[in-house]
Amino acid sequence: MSDFVHDFWSWYVAVISIVSILACAVLLWTLSVKRSPGQKAEITGHVWDGDLAEYNNPMPRWWMWLFYITIVFGAIYLVLYPGLGTWSGTLNWTSAGRYDAEMARADERFGPIFEKYAAMDVKEVAADPQAREIGQRLFLNYCSQCHASDARGSRGFPNLADDNWNWGGDPEAIRTTIVDGRQGVMPALGAVLSEEGVKDTAQYVLSIAGMTHDNLRAARGAEHFQTQCAVCHGADGTGNQQLGAPDLTDDVWIYGRGETTIMETIRRGRHGVMPPWGEFLGDEKVHMLTAYVWGLSNAR
C-alpha cells in the first residue's frame, strides 16, 4: 500500500490481522468444547422473567463450523488479495488494475461507435437518434447532478435547454465549456457601494429588466451601474459572453429574480464553477456531449 511510509507499518498491519484471525479461531475453539460425560451445564447467573436462565452450553456444531469456514475464507482471501500491509497477494489484484481492465473492455466494445460519430459534424450527430441516446446517457452520468436530468438546471446552475447562453451557445463554445470548464465570478460590491448604493443599483437592474422598481433609486443606481457593473455587463446591461457576464435585461436569472436576490448578488457577489471534463471524458465523449447539449436548444 502506497500510504505506508515505513516498513514498520506494513508489518504492524499484517501482524494485527494474522493475530486477530488466530485469536478468533482460539476463542471459537474454547467456546465449542464439549462437556465431559455426566458433567452438568452451569448457569451463568443471567436470569430473565423469573425462570428464564442462561446456561454455558457450547455452541451448536453447525454454527461452530460456519464460523470456522469464515476464518478459513479470511485466511485464503489474505493470501490471494492485498490485505497484509504491502503484501500484494498471489493474484496481484489492484482496484486500479480492475478499473483499467474494465475500461479496456468498454473501449473495445464502444470505441468503434464513438469513432464513427467523432468523424461527423456536431449538427449531424445531434440529428442522429442513436447519438442522442448516447449523449443523453453521458449527460445523465456526468452533468445531471448540477443541470438536472432534463437539462433545465436549478438555482445557481444554468438551463441548457433554452436559447440563453452566458458563454456562447455555438458548438465550439459549448465544447470549450465542457473541456476547460468555466469560472463565473461576480465580485462582491457591498463594501464599495455601501448598503444604500446596493439598493439603488438593484433598483436600476430591476428597471432594465422590465420589473417593478423605484424610479428615484433606479436613477441614482444608474451611475453606480456604469461605474461598477458596465465593464462586465455592458453599458446597456446586455452582458458579455467573452466574460460569461449574463444579460440583465432578459427574464433569465440563474440565482433567482427579485429585489432581495439581486441585492444579495451585488452585496456578496457570486462564484459559479463549471469543472473541466476534457481530460476525464476524452475527445470522443466530449464530442458526443457537445452535440447533445447543442441539440437541446437547436435540434427541433
**Cell, residue 203:** 433598483
Give strand pairing partners of 182: 274
Assign residue 251 a region (left: φ > 0; alpha: ψ between -120 and 50; beta: otherwise): alpha
Contact 295, 129 (CB under 8 A): no
- Report pLDDT digits (tens) over 165-195: 999 999 999 999 999 999 999 999 999 999 9
0.85 exceeded by the pTM? no
Helix, strand, coil in percent for the chain, rounding step 5: 55, 10, 35
Q: What is the pLDDT of residue 134?
A: 95
- Report pLDDT digits (tens) over 262-283: 999 999 999 999 999 999 999 9
CA distance 177 to 147: 14
Q: What is the pLDDT of residue 291?
A: 97
Cα separations in angstroms, 213 against 63, 205, 256: 78, 9, 16
Contact 130, 284 (CB under 8 A): no
Place of cell 452566458: 166
Cα separations in angstroms, 70 against 26, 32, 78, 91: 14, 16, 12, 20
Q: What is the pLDDT of residue 225?
A: 97
Q: What is the pLDDT of residue 299?
A: 66
Q: What is the CA radius of gyration of the chain?
A: 33
Q: What is the pLDDT of residue 4?
A: 58
The total number of residues shown for the chain amounts to: 300
**Cell, residue 263:** 441585492
Helices 95-118/129-142 angle, 10° precision: 140
Place of cell 447533445: 292
CA distance 129 to 276: 27
Q: What is the pLDDT of residue 227?
A: 95
Residues 136, 142, 143: CA angle, nearest 5 degrees: 75
CA distance 106 to 29: 48
Give strand pairing partners of 184: 272
CA distance 236 to 176: 27
Q: What is the pLDDT of residue 103?
A: 87
pLDDT tens for the chain, 300 residues long, are 456 567 888 888 889 999 999 999 998 888 776 655 655 666 667 778 777 887 777 778 888 899 999 999 999 999 999 988 888 889 999 888 999 999 899 889 888 999 999 999 999 999 999 999 999 999 999 999 999 999 999 999 999 999 899 999 999 999 999 999 999 999 999 999 999 999 999 999 999 999 999 999 999 999 999 999 999 999 999 999 999 999 999 999 999 989 999 999 999 999 999 999 999 999 999 999 999 999 999 865
Place of cell 458563454: 167
* Torsion angle, alpha carbons of 135, 139, 140, 144, to 10: -160
**Cell, residue 188:** 462582491
Q: Alpha carbon 21 to chain centroid distance?
A: 38
Q: What is the pLDDT of residue 34?
A: 62
